[in-house]
Amino acid sequence: MRCAILGSGNIGTDLMMKLMKGTDASGSGSTPLELVALVGIDPKSDGLARARKLGIDGPHEGPDWILEHAGEIDMVFDATSAYVHKAQAQNYEDAGIIAVDLTPAAIGPKVIAAVNLTEHLDAPNVNMVTCGGQATTPMVYAVRRAVSDLPYAEMVSTVSSRSAGPGTRQNIDEFTKTTSTALREIGGASTSKAIIILNPAEPPIMMRNTVFAGLPEGTDHDAVLESIYQMEADVQKYVPGYRLKNPPVIEEGPYDTPGGVVPHRAVVLLQVEGAGDYLPPYAGNLDIMTAAAQRIGEAIAQHRATSKAGV
């Protein structure tokens, strides 16, 4: 599928560098995506300069360029901001362009690469939630599949200020709302909370995430821990730097949560180290978002090709 990336900031440029490798998200085969352009609005941006050096179109006319070239583009990865995507989403659909939304706009169904990758492959617009959502929703889901119900889940995502560009900073409110919703809709929690922290520490810290999950009475704790370790391995297939910072633990309660009093809770500490495709390895928040976007885009392309062939 011919694709374009809209947004020449940190996320868009990192995704471009991944796609230019020519391999799929797991690094084990060739990608079914052909990158035709990185599109921005600042003609002097580093991302557009890099695109041109790589032989990729680097126009600075923004969404207008995408729509003017709709006949040459099958898919757009939108790495702008929530308000820009909300303004243009219907235009992409009307033009027949599939949108993979890397903003927290949440126009289309939410997709977490390690959990519901194949559920919305025919949708005209899919939402990638947030970097924190891609990192923590899999762990909430891992706990949920091992228990009878999950009354409460909470995540705290801490990223380096250096890896948070203008788009991320403009979307803090949308980040928390969209991530919290994903913990319920995809993770399976009954109630949820999401928090993001931008840490200005020098040297920059790795992306770190903490997940708290309230456990009901009678939970098989060993099954919960086994499910968490399996999910770590699943995410590492496309984000090798995704790892448990410490062994997950089950803490004795009781704990009074917004979902009610629970006798125990699971605590999962995660670290995400980036591949260093554009920014240094501390920017794991970029890496998990762009790696997941690539994986979802490839899944859509493969599904559409199979459907078109009548297989």
Q: What is the pLDDT of residue 231?
A: 98
pLDDT at 289: 96
Query: Per-residue pLDDT tens for 209-258?
Result: 999 999 999 999 999 999 999 999 999 999 999 999 999 999 999 999 99
Q: What is the pLDDT of residue 307?
A: 83
Q: Residue 129: left if φ>0, alpha if ψ -120 to 50, beta else—which one?
A: left
Q: What pLDDT digit, counting tens, does each position of 179-207 carry?
A: 999 999 999 999 999 999 999 999 999 99
If you count them, how many residues does the chain have? Answer: 311
Same domain, yes or no: 15 and 65? yes
Give the pLDDT mean for 155-173.
88
pLDDT of residue 134: 97
Q: Both 264 and 297 in a single domain?
A: no
**What average pLDDT does range 282-304 have in this prediction?**
96
CATH of the domain at 269: 3.30.360.10
Rounded mean pLDDT of 74-98?
97
Kindly state whether residues 147 and 92 are assigned to the same domain.
no
pLDDT above 70 covers a percentage of the chain that reads: 99
In a shared domain, residues 273 and 224: yes
Query: Are residues 209 and 82 part of one domain?
Result: no
- Considering the domain architecture, whether residues 29 and 120 belong to the same structural domain is answered as yes
Q: Which domain does 177 fall in, by range?
A: 131-282
Q: Which two tokens stand for residue 39?
A: 């599109």
* 97 in the same domain as 233: no
Q: Could you read off the pLDDT of 18-65 as tens digits, one per residue?
A: 999 999 999 999 999 999 999 999 999 999 999 999 999 999 999 999
Number of domains into which the chain is organized? 2
95-122 tens-digit pLDDT:
999 999 999 999 999 999 999 999 999 9
Residues 229 and 223: their CA atoms lie apart, in Å, by 10
- In this structure, the answer to whether residues 223 and 301 fall within a common structural domain is no
Catalytic sites, residue numbers: 131
- Regarding whether 125 and 135 lie in a shared domain, the answer is no
Does residue 311 register a pLDDT over 70?
no
DSSP states along 1-14: -EEEEE--SHHHHH
> 306: exposed, middle or buried (C-beta count within 10 Å: 0-12, 13-18, 19+)?
exposed
Kindly report whether the peptide bond that precedes residue 203 is cis, defined as omega within 30 degrees of 0: yes
CA distance 311 to 291: 27
Residue 270 to residues 196, 236, 311: CA-CA distances in angstroms?
14, 12, 40
Check residues 165 and 298 and name the one with the higher pLDDT.
298
User: What CATH code is carried by the domain that includes residue 12?
Assistant: 3.40.50.720
Q: Are residues 17 and 137 in the same domain?
A: no
Q: 41 with 180, same domain?
A: no
Please indicate, yes or no, whether residues 136 and 272 belong to a single structural domain of this protein: yes
At residue 279 the predicted structure's pLDDT band, cuts being 50, 70 and 90, is confident
